[in-house]
Chain A
């Protein structure tokens, strides 16, 4: 479905740090994502998890190596918080998010009441996003992300924030979504979620894959690294 072959990603840092200003994020990463599986990616902060999802979504191109996607298959990166415009209302942000994901203005408008109801934001849906708490942002982020319909869902931490009750509701909605043919790549810090949701997991450290296989065995490697 999706294949990363010897992928490296580095960029020039403006400050002359790291390797003479060159910052290596991923180093010769090879990974295959199979149709219908739910793959969990775990690793400490800053090891390249989000970058890997961005490569899979086609947002970034590898410095070397290749990212191959099955022809005709679509993928989308779902992430929270980042990307919301703080001076716009929740409604406007949801509308914009839907249109950016390819919906027409009419389709986007038809999603809005559903988003308002699921996110349980009530009147705050009409307020500017800069007045939102982290939990409210998480609700809006997850709910706008949930309506995307693509072959490969790339999920970046969308289930990691918010209060316990909403997190459980979100996790339940996500599990309903991923049962069936949906292929999912899922980044999380929460071991329980990786264990419950994923059929396979990989652990990344220092830009390379250090473990790949059954979630329980991979989680053990992750715990040893922490």
Chain B
């Protein structure tokens, strides 16, 4: 199978899954937008209405962080279980195992396109004038996507080897939810050194902050930092492709047994 054919196959699998998912629910494709917006609403009620976060722009601040985080967490969580969930196909066809997590990530990408469109509309409605600086968001989205693919491959491999990793990854996402500056501002920590530390050790916190800097304040992301995160994601991704290709039959045995 050629590389183009492999990408077409992953894309076809993603589009079919999306169609099947939409047909299961009464509200169909509306859930692409509704689910993340309900998450934002829950966080808004808790942190703004009940705990009074005290920012005039809290809704937009929250949306920039939470919507990108949902893309990451949902894609990685679902992709982590993808090889095991597809064991029927794994036992029938000798296909590279990266196909299954990639199809799930592709599904998330389609959903996220609609979510980003909504985010841009909300920003515009709240008085954030679109400018050329918004184009800085493109490299941020690309690096975010590469991080998702790399983590999806790692997760899918780990769950295939030991099913318990499914629980650990799910718990890890909750940990990242609290530590990546989604409902609190990483730039407003009491100690500036702590801000530097969080941004340095948690690439997701850096990416979420970069979305806000670009979309809310028209500030370009820290290019070198973004480049390092991007290169790290590509290196991990390529490493996982090699590992999963070399151990394709072992992963099949683990998924089937």
Determine whether the beta carbon of B24 is less than 8 Å from that of A87.
yes
Name the B residues within 8 Å of A82 (CB-CB): 88, 91-92
28 sample A-B contacts, Cβ–Cβ < 8 Å, listed by A number:
A11-B254, A13-B257, A23-B257, A54-B252, A58-B94, A59-B90, A59-B249, A59-B252, A60-B256, A61-B250, A76-B93, A79-B91, A82-B91, A82-B92, A83-B88, A83-B89, A83-B93, A85-B16, A88-B16, A92-B16, A92-B19, A95-B16, A99-B5, A99-B12, A100-B95, A102-B1, A104-B5, A105-B8
Determine whether the beta carbon of B16 is less than 8 Å from that of A100.
no
Assembly CA distance A168 to B253 (angstroms): 34
Name the B residues within 8 Å of A8 (CB-CB): none
- Does any Cβ of B come within 8 Å of A185's Cβ? no
Determine whether the beta carbon of A96 is less than 8 Å from that of B257.
no
Determine whether the beta carbon of A96 is less than 8 Å from that of B13.
yes
Determine whether the beta carbon of A85 is less than 8 Å from that of B249.
no
Q: Give the residues from 74 to 96 in chain B that come closer than 8 angstroms, CB to CB, to chain A.
A: 88-95
Determine whether the beta carbon of A101 is less than 8 Å from that of B88.
no
Name the B residues within 8 Å of A54 (CB-CB): 91, 252
Name the B residues within 8 Å of A105 (CB-CB): 8, 12
Determine whether the beta carbon of B20 is less than 8 Å from that of A85.
yes
Name the A residues within 8 Å of B23 (CB-CB): 87, 128
Determine whether the beta carbon of A60 is less than 8 Å from that of B249.
yes
Min CB distance A55 to B, Å, is 9
The contact string, 1 if C-beta is below 8 Å from chain A, for chain B 14-48, is 00110111011000000000000000000000000
Query: For B19, B88, B91, which residue has the most chain A Cβ atoms within 10 angstroms?
Result: B91
Q: Tally A residues with Cβ within 8 Å of B.
A: 29
**Which A residues fall within an 8 A CB radius of B?**
11-13, 23, 54, 57-61, 76-77, 79, 82-85, 87-88, 92, 95-96, 99-102, 104-105, 128
Determine whether the beta carbon of B12 is less than 8 Å from that of A57.
no
Min CB distance A64 to B, Å, is 14
Assembly CA distance A76 to B91 (angstroms): 12
Min CB distance B7 to A, Å, is 11
Determine whether the beta carbon of A99 is less than 8 Å from that of B20.
no
Determine whether the beta carbon of A84 is less than 8 Å from that of B88.
yes
Q: A11's contact among B13, B19, B90, B257, by CB below 8 Å, is which?
A: B257
Q: Give the residues from 230 to 257 in chain B that come closer than 8 angstroms, CB to CB, to chain A.
A: 249-250, 252-254, 256-257
Which residue on chain B has the smallest CB distance to residue A54?
Answer: B91
Q: A96's contact among B12, B249, B253, B254, by CB below 8 Å, is which?
A: B12
Name the A residues within 8 Å of B12 (CB-CB): 95-96, 99, 105
- Does any Cβ of A come within 8 Å of B226's Cβ? no
